[in-house]
Amino acid sequence: MADTPEVPQQAIDYSQRIPNNVDLSNDRTLQRALERWQPAFLNWWHETGPSNTSDLQVYLRTAISVDRDGWANFGYVRMPEYRWGIFLAPQDANRKIHFGDHKGQPVWQDVPGEYRSPLRRIIVTQGDTEPASVEQQKLLGATCPSLYDLRNLFQVNVEEGRHLWAMVYLLHRYFGRDGREEAEGLLQRRSGDANNPRILTAFNERTGHWLAFYMFAFFTDRDGKFQLAALAESAFDPLARTTKFMLTEEAHHMFIGESGVARILQRTCEVMNQLKLTDPSQIRAQGVIDLETMQRFVNFHYSVTLDLFGSDVSSNAANYYTGALKGRYGEANIGDDHSLAGNFYSVQEVANGDIVTRQVPALTALNARLRDDYVREIQAGVDRWNKIPERFGMPFRITLPHLGFHRKIGSFADQYVTPQGQVLSREDWERQSADWLPSDDDHAFVGSLMSRVIEPGRFANWIAPPARGVNNLPIEFEYVRFD
Ligand SMILES: [Fe+2]
Ligand SMILES: [Fe+2]
């Protein structure tokens, strides 16, 4: 759009200790504060980041500018030398608030006093998930199914580290002493720690093997996408610009998850087809993951990720919207008045042992709405997965369990709902839950398949090779070097 005046854009300056496109060298106080935080970040990375990676050279993608072509920069990087930095999407000088009570006013370049505490809370909660996922995935490198996959894991890890930088920049730059303290807290909490855990439950689950990793990247990184997309609508412009750029990185994480699960399904179907097997134990005996187990992992990762959207009905969500702190998914493309006053939205809950639909004020149902948008995208991904057994002429299809299944947060917390949406007593539910959720045995079986495959072009038996390599390179390219 030629008539949108843009503020002159900064290229990413890699000559600085902290690469950035926010003109850090002209804000000495902030620069010094962040330079003090940087060694603490690196300590955190060494302690809880991917283990035994100091000597590796990894074929990674690094952003060199924030426009679309800025991602085309690939090359070998020694992991601890990755250039984490602060990159915001370009500023639009004419940007106006486009929803909520302040609609039509210019966006904010600073934090209004009245929104200081909710904005800080939003940023800290988002920021906490970034290092958490790196911690969860710390040990996966030891059992990589191929060099291609190992490289993809590390790409995700360094970018989650950069997402932490993105949130820490906002805390340091806009929230004074409180922000600096929160930035330290982000390096002190630990995923799964009994005393000082990460804020959200799904980020305290362990990612003990590669099936869990791919499921996490498909389901949970996509929650990240929807949260970031809602924050990219924010009236607080630096938050909107930061999250907008993070979204470009998130797309790749979801690709790794979706294609990873697809390659497992592909391999299992190949073996079932070749050997004419349908019995899960016989399929497992061939060293591949049976489809029933895949379904149980889908049930688990889907349900714990739904909890990340928060309560279905929430006055916080309403306040975030009317204050224009957090919008709806694709807010600008929705054809309504963007105030939602007087509108209603359907949510589900349990009443007298049945699941019923209730109309609630749309403003209070924004968490449910964002989750429903997410579910639509998840369903489309599942439909793509299901093309695989279909191609093999197999009747099996992955299905998403009912919204109420295995929930800890929201209207279905403390309810015992089957994947089909039937409300049971606790006892009845627990008696059958081993059919629905991965058991310790399932984890042990999947874990038993994990072994390290690092010959270029080779893949573990339980997963098919990808359709193509990274950056148009061959699949057998040496994506990680060990010297
Ligand atoms: Fe992230
Ligand atoms: Fe991610």
CA of 160 to the centre of ligand 2 (A): 6
Q: Is 418 left (phi over 0), alpha (psi -120 to 50) or beta?
A: beta
Question: Whose atoms come closest to the Cα of 213: which ligand?
Answer: 2
Nearest-ligand number for the alpha carbon of 153? 2
Give the span between the Cα atoms of 37 and 31, in whole angstroms.
Answer: 10
pTM for this predicted structure: 0.95
Task: Based on DSSP, count helices (H) and strands (E) in the chain, helices before strands.
Answer: 13, 5
pLDDT of residue 206: 85
Ligand nearest to the CA of 227: 1
Whether the CA torsion 192, 54, 46, 36 is positive or negative: it is negative
* Strand (E) or helix (H) holding 347: strand 344-351
pLDDT confidence of residue 65: 77
Q: How far is the CA of 308 from the centre of ligand 1 (A)?
A: 14
Q: Which of 23, 1, 150, 8 is nearest to 79 (CA)?
A: 150
Kind and range of the H or E element at 349? strand 344-351
pLDDT, averaged per 10 consecutive residues of the chain (483 residues), comes to: 54 82 92 94 95 91 78 88 91 96 98 98 97 96 97 96 97 96 97 96 92 98 98 98 94 96 98 98 98 98 97 97 98 95 96 96 98 98 98 98 97 97 97 97 98 97 97 97 89
The rounded Å distance from CA 238 to ligand 1 centre is 17
Ligand 2 center from residue 74 Cα (angstroms): 19
Q: CA-to-CA distance for 475 and 122, rounded, in angstroms?
A: 40
The rounded Å distance from CA 198 to ligand 2 centre is 16
Distance 250 CA to ligand 1 centre (A): 6
Closest ligand, as measured to the CA of 162: 1
Q: How far is the CA of 246 from the centre of ligand 2 (A)?
A: 8
Distances (CA, A) of 330 to 88, 92, 126, 437: 19, 18, 19, 33
Report the alpha-carbon distance of residue 175 to residue 168 in Å, rounded.
10
Q: Which residues are 106's β-sheet partners?
A: 96
Would you tell me how many other CB atoms lie within 10 Å of the CB of residue 431?
11
Ligand nearest to the CA of 251: 2
Tokens of 451: 């072994």
Which residue, 356, 323, 357, 354, is CA-closest to 339? 323
Write the DSSP symbol of residue 173: H
CA 390 to chain centre: 28
Nearest ligand, measured from the Cα of 217: 2
Q: How far is the CA of 224 from the centre of ligand 2 (A)?
A: 6
User: How far apart (Å, rounded) are the C-alpha atoms in residues 203 and 190?
Assistant: 9
What distance in angstroms lies between residue 220's CA and the mean position of ligand 2's atoms? Answer: 8
239 CA from centroid of ligand 1 (Å): 14
Q: Ligand 2 centroid to 424 CA: how many Å?
A: 35
The rounded Å distance from CA 405 to ligand 1 centre is 26
Judged by its nearest atom, the ligand closest to the C-alpha of residue 219 is: 2
Beta strands in 45-179, from DSSP E residues, in sequence order:
57-61, 74-78
Contacts of 34 (CB under 8 A, 6+ apart): 18, 24, 86, 168, 169, 172
Tokens of 108: 């904010």
96: β partners: 106
Q: List 59's β-bridge partners, or say none.
A: 76
- State the pLDDT at residue 64: 79
Q: What was the pLDDT predicted at 7?
A: 61
